Structure 1
Amino acid sequence: MYQSILVPVDGSPHAEKALALGAQLARASSAILHLMTVAEFPPDNIGLFTGGTAEPFDEKAREKLAAGLKETAHENIAKAREAVDLEGIEVREVVCQGRPAELILKEAGKLGVDVIVMGSRGISDVRGMVFGSVSHKVSHAADCSVITVT
C-alpha cells in the first residue's frame, strides 16, 4: 500500500491523532514513517510577538528565541513518540526551521513520500483562521495524497 509516510507534528492533539493513524498505516504496509516538526522563524519584532508595542530586538535575542523554538520542536517529536506506539516501525526524524506548509511540501517531495498524514488543526488555531491553516495549504499543493485527521 504505502512505502513512505510523512507525519508532521506540532504538539497538538490533532497531530497525535494523525501520528496514531500514520503508525497504523506504516505498520500495515511496512512503510517508513517520517516524523517531522517545524520550528517557525522568530518574528522580526519581539514586541509584537509578546503582545506589546513594536520594539525591535537585536540579533543575539533573535538567535536565542530561534534556539528556543528549535528546542520546542525537538520536544514535540519526543512528546509524539511517547504518545503513540511506534514499536516495529522504521521511524526517521526531521526537524527544520521555517514556514511549516512550505517545508512540509518540500520534505515530502525530497523524500518521495506516498502520503502525508497530518492534523487538521495545530497549536496555532487563531493564526490559522486569519492566514489559512497549514493542513489546508499542504492538502491543496501536495503532489502526493494527504490525509487530514480531525
Structure 2
Amino acid sequence: MSAKPFTIPIRILPDDIDFMGHVNNSRYLNWVQDVVLQHWQKLAPAEEVASKAWVALKHEITYRRPAFLDDEVIAETVLEKIAGARSFYNTVIKRGEDVLAEVQSMWCCIDSKTLRPARISRDVAERCFGMPKKQERFTGE
C-alpha cells in the first residue's frame, strides 16, 4: 500500500503549446516536478522543508494523449517508496478521466547547505507521508 495521492491543478499557458498545437512534451516533466515538490512542501514539517531540497535522478514517462490550451488538467502523484535518500513517485497527468501521461520518477533528497544526499527520517516518512512501518517499504535508517 502506498501513501495517499496528492493532486494539483495544472494551468496550461500559451507558451506551453508547440508547433503541432498541443502542449509540448517537455512541459509534462515540469508538471511532475511541480506536483512532487508541492507534495513535499505541503506535508513535510517546516524545518524539513527548510533544510532539504530535491533533485530528480530519473523520469520514465509514457505519453497517452495530447493536452491543449483550454484543457482542465490535473497532476496526481503518489509517493510509492523511500529508500535512503531516494524517493520513488508515480505521477499521472489527467484531463477528466483521460490519462494524458504516466510518469515514474526517482528523486534524491539533499541537504540544502551541503548539497549532499540526506535521508528522510522514519518519523517524517510515517507521520507525514503515510508510509507503512514495514521494513521493505522504508529502508532509510
Same fold (TM over 0.5): no
- Please state which band the TM-score falls in when normalised by the shorter chain: under 0.3
The answer to which structure has the higher helix fraction is 1
Q: State the structure with bigger RCO (CA 8 A, min sep 6), 1 or 2.
A: 1
**TM-score normalised to the size of structure 1?**
0.26
**TM-score normalised to the size of structure 2?**
0.28
